[in-house]
Copies of this chain bind each other. A is one copy, B any other.
Amino acid sequence: MSLILSALENIPLIRQGDNLADIVLNAFEQMNVALLDNDIFVLAQKIVSKAEGRIINLADVIPSQEAIELAEKTEKDARLVELMLQESNEVVRYRKNVIVVEHKLGFICANAGIDHSNVLGDGDNKDVVLLLPENPDNSAKQIRDEIKKRTNKNIGVMIIDSHGRAWRNGTVGMCIGLSGIPALIDERGWKDLFGYTLQATIVGVADELAAATSLVMGQAAEGTPVVHARGFPYPLGEGSLQELIRPKDMDMFR
């Protein structure tokens, strides 16, 4: 069994209002491969945010007193910190240059996922930033529904971002929204090779696929923000971002 992850070439620069289903299908058609049931398209958060117009000019942001104080402690731009606070439920940790929050979407991430790079094509313009999509599960569902309508194929769609982690160096791709893909596979009660019952194995398959596709996308100038995945080894089914988030009271590391 093989899992094949292919970066789509020919994804144009995305602008507010662009139809991502259209753009993904056009780029996929140029690969001269038939779309099949159970295929998955994985999109970088950045292009979804851009299409949804989640661009903010820092010149328009007036920082609160709380933002000004946290900006001083972390040596960050107070307007940027204001956006981080607006995008978050709470600040979990901070130190110089890093603010780790519980994002409004529920997950823990640095800087509320607000991104400077690859925003507008205006060089080192640090005044333009990109917020995460407002409802990435819904963004994924809209793209999936439209692809299904146009192709009659039952596919999955996932939106990913790169997150830092506790304990380990290096960012890895994480799922921040999905439609038509299971988030977790609960193998408790399954038997292993020898009939021994697995005790505690709930597998984060959506995050595993997110990491896999992030590797293929690259981070910097590659310009390949969409990956086609074939061979996902579980049946497609409904999943949601919320399943991937450990409730605060179950988290020993909050």
Contacts and interface: CB of A to CB of B under 8 A. Distances in A.
Interface residues of A, number: 82
A65 interface: no
A60 interface: no
A1 interface: yes
A187 B224 CA distance: 16
B120 A220 contact: no
Interface of A: 1-7, 13, 93, 95, 97-98, 100, 107-108, 116-125, 162, 165-174, 183-184, 187, 190-212, 214-216, 218-221, 223-224, 231-233, 243-246, 251-254
A165 B165 contact: yes
A248 B173 CA distance: 23
B170 A184 contact: yes
A199 B107 CA distance: 22
A220 B190 contact: yes
A74 to B, nearest CB: 12
Contacts of A197: 124
Contact of A233 (B98, B169, B216): B216
Contacts of A243: 169
A60 to B, nearest CB: 20
